[in-house]
Structure 1
């Protein structure tokens, strides 16, 4: 019985020490794609690599995942990052690359829309790249 009570107090103590809400510790953001390196064409059934360049705004931000949304032959690409709000950081911009594979599973041309940010009116701006399939 004493062991059960001791375990109970350890668990309660651990839970009470975790008072900060994770949402207040991290900020999730979508960043624009700065540069794109893509093949001139895809070969049907084969895998090709696309390389994007993005810039982290400070040393507290890190790559989380590629934002990759597709519908039909259109792909929308951006960068998901997380910023640690609990860490002291510098405002040094960090340039990184990310490579991702694309398997050509359809015979139609692929339209990639790389998110470049927002314009003065707040509308999304994209760099469109069409890659034909041979």
Structure 2
């Protein structure tokens, strides 16, 4: 927790020294971004947190990871990446593969079906990495 808070402070101080102007006139863009890879853990337990590593690329070097886009309906889960960009700057594409951890805490026994959004194919159809998480204890 302390390490995470320290990284947040370092990031915010870095923004101040790099001259980013986060004035009210600056537009903020939130974008849903595709996932490139997911590691499916072997075990899931009711009322216990399981960490699911998720790899992704951001749309540009001006984007930062905001949070997971997460929809839950019964035992179905839809997951994507939400990124944030401040301003109308034109930025280079971000080629760096990043990792975030989805913390999943099932509250019921059963099989949860995950769909991680990969983006759209050439015909504009959504593509997913799918797997089931069996919570049996």
SS across alignment from 1:27 = strand
Report 1:73-88 matches (<5 A).
73-87=75-89
1:10 counterpart residue number = none
- Contact kept in structure 1, 2:61 and 2:92, CA below 8 Å: yes
Bigger Rg, which one: 1
TM-score by length of 1: 0.75
SS across alignment from 2:29 = strand
Instruction: Report the alpha carbon displacement of residue 95 of structure 1 after superposing the two structures with TM.
Output: 1.7
Report 1:1-134 matches (<5 A).
20=25, 22=26, 25-87=27-89, 89-134=91-136
- Contact kept in structure 2, 1:76 and 1:113, CA below 8 Å: yes
Instruction: Report the alpha carbon displacement of residue 36 of structure 1 after superposing the two structures with TM.
Output: 0.6
Distance 1:122 1:105 in 2: 35
Question: Any unmatched runs of 5+ in structure 1?
Answer: 1-17
TM-score by length of 2: 0.73
Across the aligned residues of Structure 1 and Structure 2, the Cα RMSD in angstroms comes to 1.9
- Contact kept in structure 2, 1:31 and 1:117, CA below 8 Å: yes
Distance 2:64 2:117 in 1: 18
Aligned residues: 114
Distance 2:124 2:42 in 1: 31
Cα distance 1:121–1:92, how it changes in 2: closer, same or farther (>3 A)? closer
Cα distance 1:93–1:104, how it changes in 2: closer, same or farther (>3 A)? same
Distance 1:93 1:26 in 2: 22
Map Cα deviations across residues 29-79 of structure 1 (whole Å, 9 max, x no partner).
Answer: 111111111212312222111110110132111111110001000000000
Map Cα deviations across residues 76-122 of structure 1 (whole Å, 9 max, x no partner).
Answer: 00001122334464334222111121112111111110001011221
